[in-house]
Structure 1
Amino acid sequence: DDDDDASSSSSASGDDAVAPARSFPTLERVVRDAVDALGGAVAPKLSWSAPKDATWMATTSTTRCLNPGEVFLLLKASDAVAHDLSDAYSPCRDFDADDAAGLRASQLASLRADATLTLTRWRDLSPSGEFRCFVWRGDLVGACQRDVSNFYPFLPALAEEYAELLATHWQDVVCGHFPSRDYVFDVYVTSNRRVKIIDFNPWGGGTLPLLFEWHELQRRGSGEGGFTDDLEVRVVTSQGHIRPGLRLGVPFDMVDRSPSGAIAAFAERQQREREREAAAAAAREEAAAAVETAAPGGGDDDE
């Protein structure tokens, strides 16, 4: 009996050592209600970052989420989100490294009282229409294709036209209204050449310059504010200039443990997928142009 009691006591203490699964029923309910209110599919963002670096975990390889579980999965797996919570302010001039020294990531995260989970209605946008614009010291100093993991054959010929569209939109809608002089914003150009704002991001830090380098963008500013002359819009000009996409990422050990030749096969499959996506985007662009020619001013993505 004594042995049984000791065994039971040992088992109980072992069970006590296991941390219980954490539950956030209120947050889960709020997220579920928001998903329902937004049409059943949303794109999440925490503070400044969307968890695009974690889309390799999603069945759709996108940030499209249909329920709270999918939202939480992407947020937990995202390095960009973790950076925003624990290290977002380290590049700032007034960041005190001594105050942050010795604090665990969870303690640093608890200091970010302004962390906000944003859910937006999911829309199926063609990646070829997404562009990132860079504003330095009040000047629009550059813009580029946002999806740098694909080559769209029709984009290089549209670069000059898009430069005028983006500059005009920034001057008419954004310039003078955004509180910072240094920032980045993403837009979507519809098939009938309307420009829609997607999001704003801080300059530098976790924001990617994509087809530019930060130092070259900073050299372009005039300091006058509102300057957009000779705006350069960069796009991927050939298959050879494609940069790897985060959504194609997987843990190294997952690929490395595959059978011999799996890495090459994986790369080949992803290349075929990129080519199919580029061809589909080109077909959509041609179809949209044909519809606009027949019925000027039309276009479903103008809402």
Structure 2
Amino acid sequence: MLESQDLKLFSIHFWYEKFQSVALKTILIEIPPILLQKLQSDESDVNIEEICPHEFVTEVKNAINTLDKNVFVKNNWHAPMDAKMFSFGNQLKVTNLDDLSLFLSASNIISEDFSTQSSIPFYIALKPWKSIHPASEFRCIVVNKVLRGITPRDWPTYYAHFKDEGPVIIETLSNFYKENIADVFPKRHYTFDVIISFPDQPCIIDFGPLNSKTNLYAFSWKEISSLFDKEVPEEVAPIFRYLDSDIGIMSRTDAIYKFANAFT
């Protein structure tokens, strides 16, 4: 669960409008009280069509149809990743209301998010389903409003093209951050996730807090947290950390250790 101060700033309903032109298309629908109550009570087998107001049901159906009946779903902050096991093909693909009901009611992640007391509205966020190559997804780490680290989200997996394309990836994401995010997102320390599909510009997937619970993939919290008190010029290039050779199966810890002290 997010810290209370992060609930609003990292909720997609807060940031999506500001970054809509450079983010993955999303349809936001506010959750009615009756459905929220069911999800908060951790009640299984929630049937959206049976319990929810007709207007909400119609809005959700229209959104699913608008997205060609191939939809990825999340709430304000998280996707129901722990409910994938109940799906066909182990995918969080929504094609109808039954799929949506299943993922929302079967997910402890969703239940925990919605159990928090907050003055902000709760949403479902529906996005077009995309088959995204793991090598195109990156987590970017911002410290003191400077982009300091870039890591593949599929870590530690070796991709040979990173060695040649690394400088282009660094330049692309640095320019994208400066032009679209740096002066807009209000926090000093945070992460943002993007997809790069050349020749298109990067596309924002999500924003997240930067703390000891954040998955930093190729980086450790110890080395990133040490940067908090260090002011650096905005011109400093971020470190793009990736495996530069195919060294077989490695644990995340071993892979991080291989690159220790990169910021010193």
- Structure 2 matches for 1:26-65, cutoff 5 A? 26=53, 27-65=56-94
| Per-residue deviation, residues 252-272 of structure 1 (Å, max 9, x unmatched) | xxxxxxxxxxxxxxxxxxxxx
Where do 1:251-262 residues align within 5 Å? none
Structure 1 pair 215/76, CA: closer, same or farther in 2 (3 Å)? farther
Name the CA distance, whole Å, in 1 between partners of 2:45 and 2:101: 18
2:153: which partner in 1?
A: 146
Distance apart, 1:224 and its partner CA: 4.6
Measured after TM superposition, the shift of residue 172 of structure 1 is 1.4
The answer to whether the aligner puts 1:163 opposite 2:187 as a matched pair is: no
- Counterpart-to-counterpart distance in 1, 2:243 and 2:108: 26
Letter in 2 for 1:192: P
Selected match of 2:209 from 182, 202, 205: 202
In 2, the alpha carbon distance for the partners of 1:163 and 1:214 equals 21
Query: Does the 8 Å contact 2:46/2:105 carry over to 1?
Result: no
Distance 1:219 1:21 in 2: 45
Whether 1:120 aligns to 2:149 is: no
Contact kept? 2:73, 2:124, Cα under 8 Å: yes
Q: Does the Cα contact within 8 Å between 2:46 and 2:102 map onto a contact in 1? A: no
- State the superposition RMSD in angstroms: 2.9
- Long gaps (5+) in structure 1: 1-18, 87-108, 244-303
Q: Does residue 24 of the first structure (1) align with residue 33 of the second (2)? A: no
Cα distance change, pair 158–83 in 1 and its aligned pair in 2 (3 A): farther
SS at 2:161 equivalent = coil
Distance (whole Å) between structure 1 residues aligned to residue 243 and residue 102 of structure 2 = 31
Matches of 2:98 and 2:212, distance apart in 1: 29
How far 1:72 moved relative to its partner? 2.8
Rounded Cα–Cα distance in structure 2 between residues aligned with 1:170 and 1:32: 35
**Alignment partner of 1:72 is 2:101:** yes
CA change 1:213–1:82 in 2 (3 A) is: farther
Q: 1:69 to 1:198 in 2, by over 3 A?
A: same
Are 2:250 and 1:241 aligned? yes
C-alpha separation in 1, matches of 2:204 and 2:164: 23
More deviation, 143-152/128-137: 143-152
- How far 1:85 sits from its partner (Å)? 2.6
Matched, 1:185 2:192: yes
**Structure 2: segments with no counterpart, 5+ residues:** 1-43, 253-264
Which secondary structure does the structure 1 equivalent of 2:89 belong to? Answer: coil
Deviations 1:99-135 (A, max 9, x none): xxxxxxxxxx454643221111222222211101111
Deviation at 1:223, TM superposition (A): 5.5
Q: Residue 210 and residue 21 in structure 1: after superposition, are their counterparts in 2 closer, same or farther (change >3 A)?
A: closer
* Deviation readout 1:221-270 (Å, 9 max, x if unpaired): 46658735131112345342365xxxxxxxxxxxxxxxxxxxxxxxxxxx
Q: How far, CA to CA, are the matches of 2:93 and 2:122 in structure 1?
A: 21
Aligned equivalents of 2:233, 2:124: Cα separation in 1:
32
CA contact (8 A) 1:149 1:242 kept: yes
Q: TM-score, normalised by structure 1?
A: 0.58
C-alpha separation in 2, matches of 1:241 and 1:198: 27
Q: Counterpart amino acid of 2:198? A: S
| Poorly superposed stretches of 4+, deviation over 4 Å | 19-22, 110-113, 221-226
Q: Is the 8 A contact 1:167 1:228 kept in 2?
A: no
- Paired positions, count: 203
